[in-house]
């Protein structure tokens, strides 16, 4: 796999330079920001393959940055590894619930940090290879890589959330997904979405699908499934 681009968001210059040195030595391209606001903007403009995010940042803290990253369609799929000196378990749990992939506590071994980041990148590559495959079912063609849906050869415009829901359901026809499972699959798009809001999204999705909307079946008291 080509060496990835990694964004470091860290206000401590010495730590940032230590991480950058060790990653560059391994052949990775490294960009950096020294506060949360710059980190978020740089993530959107440079679209790195992975983000190393300190939690204790001046101004916008790391948890808020993580929440924004997972709510932004352009960056929601970028894995985030939290870097923190905080010992409170609640901060780590909150970060993971917001969508972070992993965390590394300070002080850390540079070799272990590089190894952990390499593992996250491998996991992302494996997931990308699986989820980017074009899916053909009934008269639908779903192309995740292009964020494209064709019904009987005609394109249908979906929001990012609607597309993720359709992709989830259609990938396993006949399988019943609870509202919570659907919410978990799309939470990086809008973390504030509630399980009842899933119903509203499904209604909108069915309308856009037209006659193909019948393929999404309601399983009363449980959730939804895509017709086999």
Mean pLDDT of the chain: 87
| pLDDT tens digits, one per residue of 188-220 | 444 445 667 888 889 999 999 999 999 999 998
Domains of the chain with CATH codes: 5-130 (3.40.50.2300), 135-226 (1.10.10.10)
Tell me what pLDDT residue 94 has: 83
H helix or E strand, kind and range, residue 219 = strand 216-219
Question: What pLDDT, on a 0 to 100 scale, did the predictor assign at position 3?
Answer: 79
Distance CA 216, CA 204 (A): 12
Rounded Cα distance, 112 and 102, in Å: 13
Question: Would you state the structure tokens that stand for residue 101, as one six-digit string?
Answer: 């992939």
Model-wide pTM > 0.85: no
Encode pLDDT of 110-134 as tens digits.
Answer: 999 999 999 888 877 766 555 567 8
The predicted structure's pLDDT at residue 177: 87
pLDDT in tens, 15-54: 999 999 999 999 999 999 999 999 999 999 999 999 999 9
* Alpha helices (runs of H) in 56-177, residue ranges in sequence order: 62-71, 89-97, 110-131, 160-171
pLDDT at 190: 46
Partners of 218 in the β-ladder: 224
Structure tokens at 173: 């026809």
Q: Which of 65-69, 94-98, 218-222 has the lowest mean pLDDT?
A: 94-98
**In 27-101, beta strands by DSSP E:** 29-33, 50-54, 80-84
Q: Which of 44-48, 90-94, 161-165, 185-189 has the lowest mean pLDDT?
A: 185-189
């Amino acid at each position: 796999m080509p060496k990835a681009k990694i964004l470091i968001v860290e206000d401590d210059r010495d730590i940032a330079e230590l991480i950058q040195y060790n990653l560059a030595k391994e052949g990775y391209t490294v960009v950096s920001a020294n506060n949360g606001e710059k980190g978020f903007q740089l993530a959107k403009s440079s679209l790195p393959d992975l983000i190393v995010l300190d939690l204790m940042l001046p101004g916008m803290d790391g948890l808020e940055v993580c929440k924004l990253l997972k709510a932004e369609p352009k960056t929601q799929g970028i894995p985030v590894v939290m870097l923190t000196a905080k010992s409170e378990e609640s901060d780590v749990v909150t970060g993971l619930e917001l969508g972070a992939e992993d965390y590394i506590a300070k002080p850390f071994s540079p070799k272990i940090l590089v190894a952990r980041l390499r593992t996250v990148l491998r996991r992302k590559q494996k997931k990308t290879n699986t989820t980017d495959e074009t899916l053909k079912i009934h008269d639908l063609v779903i192309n995740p890589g292009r964020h494209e849906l064709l019904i009987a050869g005609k394109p249908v415009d979906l929001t990012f959330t609607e597309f993720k829901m359709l992709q989830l359901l259609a990938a396993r026809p006949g399988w019943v997904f609870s509202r919570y499972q659907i919410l978990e699959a799309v939470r990086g798009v809008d973390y504030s979405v509630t399980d009842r809001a899933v119903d509203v999204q499904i209604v909108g999705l069915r309308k856009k699908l037209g006659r193909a909307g019948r393929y999404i079946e309601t399983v009363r008291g449980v959730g939804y499934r895509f017709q086999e």
